[in-house]
Amino acid sequence: MNLLRLLCLCTLGLALSASDWYLFTSFRSNGETGVFLALSPDGRTFTPLNNNRSWLKPELPGMLMRDPWLGQGPDGVWHMVWTWGWTRGEGDKALKIGYAESKDLVHWSPQRAIPVLPGEPTARNAWAPEAVYHAAKREWIVFWSTTIPGRFAATDATGDDGYNHRVYSMTTKDWKNFSAPRLFFDPGYNCIDATIAQDDQRWVLIFKDERKTPLVKQLKYAVADSPAGPWREISEPFTRSWNEGPSAMKIGDAWWIYFDHYVQPAGYSTVRTRDWKSFEDMSREVTFPADHRHGTVVRISAELAKKLQAESRP
> What tens digit of pLDDT does each residue of 45-78 get?
999 999 999 999 999 999 999 999 999 999 999 9
Which of 4-8, 99-103, 259-263 shows the lowest mean pLDDT across its residues?
Answer: 4-8
pLDDT of residue 67: 98
pLDDT of residue 18: 53
- pLDDT band, residue 143 (cuts 50/70/90): very high
* CATH number reported for the structural domain that contains residue 22 in this entry: 2.115.10.20
Please state the rounded mean pLDDT for residues 155-165.
Answer: 95
Residue 313 reports pLDDT greater than 90: no
Q: Is there a cis peptide before residue 214, judged by omega within 30 degrees of 0?
A: yes
Residue 5 reports pLDDT greater than 50: no
Rounded CA separation 277/242 (Å): 21
pLDDT of residue 105: 98
Domain extent, residue 116, equals 3-311
Residue 279 reports pLDDT greater than 90: yes
Q: Report percent pLDDT > 70 for the chain.
A: 94
How far is CA 133 from each of CA 78, 89, 94, 187, 231, rounded to the nearest angstrom?
12, 29, 24, 22, 16
Rounded CA separation 279/271 (Å): 6
Each residue of 85-106: pLDDT tens digit? 999 988 888 999 999 999 999 9
Number of folded domains in the chain? 1
- pLDDT band, residue 299 (cuts 50/70/90): very high
* Torsions phi, psi for 199 (to 5 deg): -115, 95
Element (H, E) at 23: strand 21-26
Spatial neighbors of 208 by CB under 8 A, at least 6 apart, are 191, 192, 193, 217, 218, 219, 220, 243, 244, 245, 246
Rounded CA separation 80/20 (Å): 21
- pLDDT band, residue 4 (cuts 50/70/90): very low
Residue 9 reports pLDDT greater than 50: no
Mean of the per-residue pLDDT values of the chain: 93
Helix (H, G, I), strand (E, B) or coil at 233: coil
Each residue of 195-244: pLDDT tens digit? 999 999 999 999 999 999 999 999 999 999 999 999 999 999 999 999 99
Q: Are 201 and 179 in contact (CB under 8 A)?
A: no
pLDDT of residue 19: 83
- Residue 215: exposed, middle, or buried by beta-carbon count in 10 A (0-12, 13-18, 19+)? exposed
- Residue 75: exposed, middle, or buried by beta-carbon count in 10 A (0-12, 13-18, 19+)? exposed
The amino acid sitting at 18 is A
Which of 8-22, 106-120, 202-216, 257-271 shows the lowest mean pLDDT across its residues?
Answer: 8-22
Rounded CA separation 83/268 (Å): 19
